[in-house]
Amino acid sequence: MECKRARAYSSSANLGSGFDILSMAHTAFFDTVEICVETKNSENIVIESNSKIPLEPNRNSATYPLVRIMEERGIKASLRVKVIKGIPEGLGLGSSGASATAAVMAFSSLFNLNLSKEDLVRYAMYGEIASSGSPHPDNVAASVFGGVVSVVSVNPVKVVEIPLNYSFNILLFVPLNVHIEEKTKKAREMVPKTVKLSDYINNSRYISSLLIGFVKGERDLIRLGLNDEIVEKARLPLFPYYPKIKEIAIKYDAVGSCVSGAGPSILVLTDKMTDENKIAEEGTKTCNEFNVECEVIKAKIAGGVEVERRN
């Protein structure tokens, strides 16, 4: 039986006001997906996992993209798909997107499809439909490409890798005891359908500040850029501790802070001027004040999805 495995990292989408556009892959966690072909004369997908994720192919973010690729390309096969979850689900860490990405990469390698990175993103986006009902591209783009990415078009998919000329570390406040059923779906329903022109202008300023800050290596621009007047504000009930954690992060001279994806995790970027220990200590206390137990995870920027060479 031929098998292939691929690994994809966690990610923090949005990065302030880049809703459905910007995302950053990090080494905090990763998922591994192994796909084995059992036969090529029948069609079936059997899922195994170490985590409590749906085991129906159309509801699992790893397998729904495979259903769609096989349909689109007329591929017939019975597959056994092992989804080894390292990324906790529903915490804004791109868990569903990483499974989708690893699955599409493993499938491409197994069937010698030689998919481009843009095609990997396009197919992996189906995984986000399976998990949240919407094909947002940001998490999967970061997991496919690694680094910080900007999705500049979805039809056709076009992703730009942002050059990072400022060196920073990553701290994540991950509220492990929080479970919100269908979190991303609910969080997306909280996003307003229309916005004030002044908020739109401020958000556009933040995005340009963040991107120029990364490219030119300007700390102050990165800090200013990690802000958002629209989506984070509308979703605040999902992560009420965020404003105080952000205040603490700035007090101890973090580069900046924002919500990770749809939350409830919080992303803090740090450098040598930052007092990380104080941020971790006071940020954890803040979580406790809101009856939330936050684990503080240190990470670095991660690379893109890779096939594990072991067969």
Ligand X SMILES: Nc1ncnc2c1ncn2[C@@H]1O[C@H](COP(=O)(O)OP(=O)(O)OP(=O)(O)O)[C@@H](O)[C@H]1O
Q: Which residues are annotated as a binding site?
A: 88-98
Question: Of 267, 262, 266, 265, which Cα lies nearest the Cα of 133?
Answer: 262
Is residue 284 within 8 A of residue 177, CB to CB? The reply is no
Contacting residue, 187, 299, 302, 305, with ligand HSE by CB under 6 A = 187
Q: How far is the CB of 107 from ligand HSE (least distance, A)?
A: 23
Six token digits for residue 2: 């031929």
Question: Which residues contact residue 53 at a Cβ distance below 8 angstroms, ignoring those fewer than 6 apart?
Answer: 60, 61, 83, 85, 89, 99
Q: Residue 60's binding partner, choosing from ligand X, ligand HSE, none, with beta-carbon cut-off 5 to 8 A by kind?
A: ligand X
> Which positions from 185 through 224 interact with ligand X, judged by CB under 6 A?
none
Residues in the interface with ligand X (CB under 6 A) total 26
Question: Which residues contact residue 169 at a Cβ distance below 8 angstroms, ignoring those fewer than 6 apart?
Answer: 269, 270, 271, 276, 298, 299, 300
Contacting residue, 25, 91, 141, 172, with ligand X by CB under 6 A = 91
> Which positions from 14 through 33 interact with ligand HSE, judged by CB under 6 A?
14, 19-20
> Which positions from 69 through 98 interact with ligand HSE, judged by CB under 6 A?
92, 94
Helix, strand or coil for residue 242?
Answer: helix
Closer residue to ligand X, CB minimum distance, 96 or 209: 96
Residues annotated as catalytic (active site), given as ranges: 128, 184
101 binds ligand HSE (CB under 6 A): no
65: number of Cβ within 10 Å: 27
Q: Which residues bind ligand X (CB under 6 A)?
A: 13, 53-54, 60-62, 83, 89-97, 99, 130-132, 139, 182-184, 261-262
